[in-house]
């Protein structure tokens, strides 16, 4: 779809949805990925989201095929574009993160989902721009994309929260399972891993002033879990799964109770 037509449809869609947005259910935009959205369109959406104060989420640096597509115009994604008669992006040796930077996508309102195929320079770009990351280890493993450098991202000061990607990737959404795998892949202790599920996620979404921890002035969102296993509290929470959830509260209101 032409670069001028897609943003117009997006603006109309956001305008229509704004009627049902609330303080808890806010709008954002998500141009999918560099291999499915053109550079000019990415830039146009990013500029508009900035002007409107809308958060931006993008799946990026997930697979080696994506990196190959952007750096040298080769691989399965390039073949798919050619088969549909779509001009390939300029092949100038850019990494996916560099490519986003070229199109002025990176910012403190931008959430990069995956960030597996990143090098030290990419990590520094993310940190310098204030861009945040959603780390999805189960999805990365399921698709054999590799392991994201979680420890390096955190050490560089990049705000990171744990994510699940989608049921299409992992079958069942289980944030604590994501945390357990993240722990196997790094040296983070259980307390830090649990923080990535809670306050870390809130920081990655720029919502830490409202959610992510139980403090005066924040929304009273919490989950009551039946502890299992041995060790400290955080370690025992991480040993749990969806079947161990007893009650869930959103804004202090009970929305789930186990039978």
Residue 241 DSSP symbol: -
Distance (Å, whole) CA 30 – CA 10: 10
**Which pLDDT score, from 0 to 100, does residue 189 have?**
97
Q: What is the pLDDT of residue 21?
A: 95
Supply the CATH number for residue 99's domain.
3.20.20.140
Do 130 and 111 touch, CB atoms closer than 8 A? Answer: no
Does residue 245 sit in the same domain as residue 187?
Answer: no
Q: Helix or strand or coil: residue 7?
A: helix
Residue 5 lies in a domain: no
- Same domain as 192, residue 87: yes
- Whether 8 is covered by a domain: the verdict is no
Is 19 part of any domain?
A: no
- 15 falls within a domain: no
Rounded-to-integer distance, Cα 211 and Cα 208, Å: 5
Within a domain: 230: yes
Q: Are residues 228 and 163 in the same domain?
A: no
| Neighbour tally for 50: CB within 10 Å | 15
CB 112 within 8 A of CB 130: no
- Confidence at residue 1, expressed as pLDDT on a 0 to 100 scale: 45
Rounded to whole angstroms, the Cα distance separating 213 from 249 reads 13
**Residues of the chain falling short of pLDDT 50:** 1-2
Same-domain status, 225 and 208: no
**Is residue 4 a part of any domain in this protein?**
no
* 205 plus 236 within the same structural domain: no
For every residue of 120-183, DSSP letters joined together read HHHHHHHHHHT-EEEE-HHHHHHTT-----HHHHHHTT--EEE----HHHHSS--HHHHHHHHH
Per residue in 109-141, pLDDT tens? 999 999 999 999 999 999 999 999 999 999 999
User: Are residues 224 and 208 part of one domain?
Assistant: no
pLDDT digits (tens, 9 = 90+) for 176-217: 999 999 999 999 999 999 999 999 999 999 999 999 999 999
Tell me, yes or no, whether 94 and 185 share the same domain.
yes
Compute and round to an integer the Cα radius of gyration of the chain.
19
Residues serving a catalytic function are 62
Among 175, 196, 212, the domain-final residue is: 212
Claim to verify: residue 102 and residue 223 sit in the same structural domain: no
Gap between the Cα atoms of 64 and 116, Å rounded = 9
Structural domain range at position 227: 219-259
The confidence score (pLDDT) of residue 4 equals 59
The residue to which tokens 């040296």 are assigned: 187
In sequence order, the β-bridge partners of residue 249 are 222, 254
Domain count, the chain: 2
DSSP state for residue 229 in the 8-state scheme: S
- Same domain for 253 and 168, yes or no, is no
Residues 259, 177 share a domain: no
Q: What whole-number distance in Å separates Cα of residue 209 and Cα of residue 216?
A: 10
Asked if 116 and 37 sit in the same domain, the reply is yes
Q: Classify residue 202 by burial, with Cβ atoms within 10 Å: 0-12, 13-18, 19+.
A: buried
**Dihedral in degrees, nearest 10, Cα atoms 229, 231, 232, 236:** -20
Please check whether residues 207 and 142 belong to one and the same domain: yes
Is residue 52 a part of any domain in this protein?
yes
Distance between CA 145 and CA 6 in Å, rounded?
30
Is 239 among the domain residues?
yes
Tokens of 59: 């799946």
**Which pLDDT does position 171 carry in this prediction?**
86
């Amino acid at each position: 779809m032409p670069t001028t037509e897609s943003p117009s449809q997006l603006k109309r869609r956001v305008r229509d949805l704004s009627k049902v947005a609330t303080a808890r259910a806010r709008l954002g935009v998500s141009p999918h990925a560099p291999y499915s959205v053109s550079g000019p369109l990415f830039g146009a959406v990013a500029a508009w989201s900035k002007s409107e104060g809308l958060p931006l989420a993008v799946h990026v640096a997930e697979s080696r095929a994506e990196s190959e597509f952007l750096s040298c115009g080769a691989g399965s994604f390039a073949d798919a574009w050619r088969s549909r008669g779509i001009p390939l992006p300029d092949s100038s040796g850019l990494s996916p993160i560099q490519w986003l930077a070229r199109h002025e996508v990176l910012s403190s309102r931008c959430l990069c989902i995956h960030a597996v195929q990143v090098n030290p320079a990419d990590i520094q770009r993310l940190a310098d721009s204030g861009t945040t990351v959603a780390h999805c280890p189960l999805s990365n493993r399921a698709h054999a994309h590799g392991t994201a450098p979680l420890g390096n991202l955190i050490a560089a000061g990049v705000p990171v929260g744990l994510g699940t990607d989608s049921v299409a990737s992992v079958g069942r959404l289980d944030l604590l399972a994501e945390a357990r795998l993240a722990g196997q892949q790094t040296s983070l202790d259980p307390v830090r891993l649990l923080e990535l599920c809670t306050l870390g996620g809130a920081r990655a979404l720029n919502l830490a002033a409202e959610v992510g921890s139980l403090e005066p002035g924040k929304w009273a969102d919490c989950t009551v879990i039946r502890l299992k296993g041995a060790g400290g509290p955080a370690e025992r929470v991480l040993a749990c799964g969806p079947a161990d959830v007893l009650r869930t509260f959103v804004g202090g209101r009970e929305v789930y109770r186990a039978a």
